[in-house]
Chain A
Amino acid sequence: MKPGKKPLKITFSGVSSSRPSEFIKHLYNRPVSAFGATVFFIFCVMALVGPYIAPYGANDQIASEAGQPPSPDHWFGTDNLGRDVFSRVIIGARDILVLAGFGTLIAVLFGTCIGLLSGYLGSWFDEGVMRISDSLLALPAVLLALLLLGTMGPSRRGVLIVIVIVYTPIVARVVRSVALSVRKRGYVEIARLQGEARGEILFREIFPSTVPALTVEAALRFSYAIFLVASLGFLGLGVQPPNPDWGLMVQEAREHVSQIPWAMFFPAGAIALVVIAVNLFSDGIKRYLQDS
């Protein structure tokens, strides 16, 4: 191997990943974040094993049992088509969490790269990128979704794209602000003076300092993404029936809300619960990072 050509291994340890048990202990110290973390965890489990443990299939229609209130047979009751609401809720968890999760992940990846570059390079690149992101941010997510999904037709992929377009600028902004302050630090200047390539500087010197803010922002974005997916489902712009999308379930149950309120209540409640739980969880992360 040619001397000097061996890739330099990045050997830094992340901020919180090296002390997971301490993190969990800190979370459970406060009831609010404990609640958030636990509920979120439960929903994650639901997403993983939902289809296997649900008592009924998502689309099993039992006409004779339509419109029944919650009972030992149907914990959340049945909707107007005789489908078990409980099963639909836990099966639907997977779709919404995976879609929101993937969308957030991609938005974070793009946002980090753009934010790092923008903050580090400054001048016209930064100006240009920021003005574009300003214009993207000016559009409400739902409007953007209408435009996009109206043109290409509603689909999972469309929803994913909307999430990425709407949240990348926000993440980029957060990362950029950290990059702006870190690039002036002594060790970054010395790295430049020692011939480090731009990529090495961005990812070895600057990126680690963005991790705390980025983690918190990512968790927060995730909670908003869940809400966005549900909203789009409600508007009929997301996954189509008969998929057990929570937003879709709320919309379908709207007509019969006076007779079958539970068919709307439980999916809406699930949406609200997950969003709040993830929000509280991200707050717990923020406090942990602040206190350490």
Chain B
Amino acid sequence: MEKNRESPGSPILRIKELTVAYKLRDKVHNAVRDFSLEIEPGGKYGLVGESGSGKTTIALAILNYLGKDGLIQGGEVLFKGKDLLGLTKSQLKEVWGSQISLVPQNPQSSLNPSMRIGDQIAEVFSGRNGDFAGDILFRVLTLLERVHLPEPGKIARMYPHQISGGMQQRVLIAMALSLNPDLLLLDEPTTALDVTTEASILGLLQEEVTGSGSSALYVTHNLGVAAQFCDRLAVLYAGDLVEDGSLLDIFQRPLHPYTTGLIASIPSPGVSRRESKLISIPGQIPPLGARPAGCVFAPRCPIAVNICLQTPPLTETGANRSVRCHRWEEIEQGLLDRRRFFSTYNGDKPEKISKPVFDNARNLLDLKKVGVHFELPRSVIEVFTGKSPDTLKAVNGVTFSIPGGSTVGLVGESGSGKTTLARAIMGLELLTNGRVEFAGKALPQKLSERDFGILKKLQIVFQNPDEALNPHLKVGTSIQIPIQRLLLCDRDDAEKKAIQLMEAFQLPAEYFNKKPHQLSGGEKQRAALARSFASNPSLLIVDEPVSSLDVSVQAAVLNMLDEFQQKEANSLLFISHNLAVIGYMADIVAVIYRGCLMEVSRTEELFSPPYHPYTEALLSAIPIPDPAVTRARIHLEGDIPSPVDEPRGCPFHSRCPRVLGDTCKSEQPGWQFDRQGNRFYCHIPLEELESSQDLLFD
């Protein structure tokens, strides 16, 4: 693609000391301060930060598209030499789309639900050059093909709700690429997607950006994704640029304590909590308007000293490398012992914890061929013509057990049935077939048939911390109520116990009287955990407990969960789509796909061959926050097929990269066991899998 350049070699985008503020109820708060960045033509820059860091603000400021509450207080945004901040709306419209375009975060809310896909893409073209309808149609179809969407003609006629999230995001990418822009802004384009879909979208983006020679600015909180896609990184914390450099430089020699902590707090696949604690950064990101004077990170920094009360300058430490820290030289020269440095984050050294003794004599929870089927409603015509209703088999013949005192991980992507299974165990959904046994006795299906003795031993924590607590009650009251009821305490006793429980989850006693909306996301999740732990359950189901939290807070919550379990020796059923987190927390892992279990293995053996082909794809899709690691990525074609179509053979055959052919399509596999007792639901003999699969993790 021809590229317009001011002069060869000069940056295509140069941001100089950009300062952006927001007006909130008559007060002006600084969101981004003195931010500077340069993107070379063809460069892929990553803007990494957690929530509240200002990264989306910067992306919107580049486009000069902040809402009416956003004020640009200073700085310049030079695109090909011209300051975008000085342009009028009509001049900006020339730039938007054709020279700079944006791929937004949430595909579902970014597409017009009442327009067909083809029409939405055509909107980009129409009104520009008066093209003929036939020409536009051709361009739309070509675009859809370019982003590898199957059957472009069919998709162009569909509405957004009829296609999956991954496909929607591809449509948005197509729209962003349609006019061949010189700069592509990507605002967390894969955050809302499953890990395998994410991997294929990243592959598509790589292909496009490299192929067309355009530059890209990738905004994300996921270091693993940044490590795969970008060649340079800028790390943001609470509105300040704290570190800037090439990808390898930042990962191999991080110079800012925040960057170090961030990289270290991500669980590496294959490392388990029995071996070491997760590094977590204590505290939380200061909200807008509450930022401390001096170094913004100082309150959470393990090596903060007196000079940190003054704002550190952005120092250039080398070619194209800068950091904003007073003590960067000490860090660079390794004067701070790295192990001590890491351990100062936690207060104690990471230590080995002895393996628990599983109470194998009797499992805590046994699931035997559990199925949960839903009948789909029929249209009126179908009722009259006597058509039998379609069944959606959300959970289909699942059998596994949870031993006492252990953590079992349940891994699956969206639509796999893992949440439905959790709800069925809890009694919120009815089983269609199979049985569930709790401590050897059959578990009554309906919630109303379970007595307090059972209720208090079986609890669940849901994914969304905003919904876990009654917004009208004080936080402490929400925790006190189950203690009072299920543990039969009187009110004062329960209040004391509630405060103890809150402190165990690092919520100060003053929080008792606060309302949920006054707490941050991480604090709400901890309060939700405290509420569910209140009755000291023997089995706690946690459904994606850390997925909605910032990375620096995730580690703290996981550590807390771990400590609690060690102390009270209860079992956890840990549901997640994040294999690295599950690998860290779980002793046994069950992999579920379309309602059926594919593999059940002990964690230490999950990460080495033989892998079930689906597990293999999931593992290879994990974005590793280490750019030095390059792996062959196994791409799964297409999306999870609709669970209404029941396959006769193996549920995975339509996407399996190792599919054998007719056997897989027509015959259901059986369970194969390996030497250690792990089981696999596959036709391919284990020896063959073992020999042909590469070790994915060291």
A contact residues vs B (CB 8 Å cutoff): 1, 3-4, 6, 8-9, 11-13, 185-187, 189-196, 204-205, 208-209
Contact = CB atoms under 8 A, between A and B. Distances in A.
B467 interface: yes
B521 interface: no
Contact of B472 (A12, A190, A192, A195): A12
Contact of A12 (B427, B455, B473, B482): B473
A190 B467 CA distance: 10
A194 B486 contact: yes
Contacts of A205: 470
Interface string B406-425: 00000000000000000000
A195 B486 contact: yes
Contacts of B48: none
Given A8-B484, A185-B467, A205-B470, A194 B459 contact: yes
Classify the secondary structure of A's interface with B: loop
B455 A11 contact: no
Contact of B447 (A9, A187, A192): A192
B673 interface: no
Contacts of B428: 189, 192-193
B485 A196 contact: yes
Contacts of A13: 472
A189 B532 CA distance: 12
Nearest to B480: A8
B490 A6 contact: yes
A208 B471 CA distance: 9
Nearest to B466: A186
B572 to A, nearest CB: 16
A4 B485 contact: yes
Interface string B456-482: 101110101001111111100110011
Interface in B481-510: 481-482, 484-486, 488-491, 493
B531 interface: yes
A128 B470 CA distance: 30
B197 interface: no
A196 B489 contact: no
Contacts of B473: 11-12, 204
A96 B478 CA distance: 44
B470 A194 contact: no
Contacts of B462: 186, 189-190
A189 B426 CA distance: 10
B491 A195 contact: no
A193 B467 contact: no
A186 B464 contact: yes
10 closest residue pairs by CB, A with B: A186-B467, A208-B472, A4-B488, A12-B472, A194-B482, A186-B462, A187-B470, A3-B490, A195-B455, A186-B468
Given A1-B490, A8-B491, A204 B485 contact: no
A208 B469 CA distance: 13
A154 B461 CA distance: 59
Among A8, A13, A186, A205: residue with most chain B CB under 10 A: A186
A11 B477 contact: yes
A165 B316 CA distance: 78
A194 B531 CA distance: 10
A195 B489 CA distance: 14
Contact of B426 (A8, A193, A195): A193
Contacts of B468: 186-187, 190
Nearest to B516: A187
A193 B531 CA distance: 12
16 contacts: A8-B484, A8-B491, A9-B491, A11-B474, A185-B467, A187-B467, A187-B471, A189-B462, A192-B447, A193-B428, A194-B459, A194-B535, A195-B456, A196-B485, A204-B470, A208-B472
Nearest to B423: A189
A12 B426 CA distance: 28
Given A186-B467, A194-B481, A194-B482, A6 B472 contact: no
